[in-house]
Amino acid sequence: MTRPKFRGAEPALHELEWQVKAICRGMSTDIFYHAESQRGAIRKQYEVQAKQICNDCPVRRQCAAHAIRTDEPHGVWGAMTTRERRLAMTRSRRKATAADQVTS
């Protein structure tokens, strides 16, 4: 399986220092990136396996934040799927909008 190309903003080198502490460092990326053709139970199985690894990781929050900040379109990052990251971004934007309306 080939990994999708990076689409987000290029992070500064110091912003990626957390990666050396990641449990997944050196693991096959296939664990975290399912094939686009995978659906249903097989896809869920990959996601569960990846999330189990992520849940024990000391840099899980930094990983998820990086994926959200760079709009990573694929894979499980910080125990979050693409869909979960998009939902988190939507919720965050709604809260920011609501806060702006209150202070206006």
Q: Is 9 annotated as a binding residue?
A: no
Q: Is 24 annotated as a binding residue?
A: yes
Q: Residue 8: what residue type?
A: G
| Alpha carbon separation from 20 to 14, 36, 37, 93 (Å, rounded) | 11, 28, 31, 30
Q: Residue 80: what residue type?
A: M
Distance CA 69, CA 84 (A): 14
Q: Is 5 annotated as a binding residue?
A: no
Q: Is 6 annotated as a binding residue?
A: no
Write out the binding residues for [4Fe-4S] cluster: 24, 54, 57, 63
Write out the binding residues: 24, 54, 57, 63
